[in-house]
Amino acid sequence: MPSFPSAPVRDAGTAAQWRAFLRAWISDPLRTAAMSPSGAQLATMMMAQLPEGVRHAAYPVIELGAGTGVFTEALLAAGVAPERLLVVELNRGLHGILRRRFPHVQIECADACRLLELTARRGIAPGSVGAIVSGLGLLSMPRAVVARVIESSVQLLRADGRLIQFTYGPLSPVPRALGARLGLASRRCGMAWRNMPPATVYSYGLTAPGAARRAG
């Protein structure tokens, strides 16, 4: 969940997280997508897109590409119970930070392409997830990989669930043809100008859940 810090680093823990994110970017810039964790304004905008009732309901919530845990922390602060939250982070160094910061959260060190396998192992059924919050750099990923991640997400979402994604690009990070095939409606929710670089938040919901399930 990338961007330059929105405020000066104030403590050793934050500095260590920033350095870990920078190391992850240096080792694999395409997967990490930028050089440092997302800012507070972007996290607030992402949380504002959570479906009504999902914060304190029993629905599972999934986070993809958690980085150092900016959105993880915001999800917990928004009322999502740790036992309902599944976090997926591919980078081992960042995964270690997440495990230390959030010991009561289910955290997988894995590729988001394996989402259906991961959720099955955790007992999360298709059609049961209230929200998927994504910090993945979709624009830097191969289209086949993006399609697999989005298709898996669609299979997991409830009919009223939401996929919440941000992007640094000018257009929706989910290709229009893919969204149409899966029955996804896209909504541009606004721009976090104080993030650096500024980021746009999108929310995706199912318009034809039955067709979307079959597409997966």
- Tell me which residue range forms the domain holding 34: 12-215
Separation CA 92–CA 96 (nearest Å): 6
Q: What is the pLDDT of residues 47-64, one digit of tens each?
A: 999 998 888 889 999 999
Tally of domains within the chain: 1
Separation CA 34–CA 25 (nearest Å): 6
Within-domain flag for 1: no
Residue 2 has what pLDDT?
Answer: 38
Within-domain flag for 92: yes
Within-domain flag for 26: yes
Buried b (16+ CB within 10 A) or exposed e, 75-107: bbebebeeebbbbbbbbebbbebbeebbeebbb
Q: Is residue 46's pLDDT more than 60? A: yes
Residues 19-30: what's their mean pLDDT? 52
pLDDT band at 9 (very low <50, low <70, confident <90, very high): very low
pLDDT band at 5 (very low <50, low <70, confident <90, very high): very low
Q: Quick one: which of 136, 131, 158 has its CA closest to 148?
A: 136
- CATH code at 171? 3.40.50.150
Within-domain flag for 150: yes
Within-domain flag for 6: no
Q: What is the pTM of this model?
A: 0.82
Separation CA 164–CA 77 (nearest Å): 17
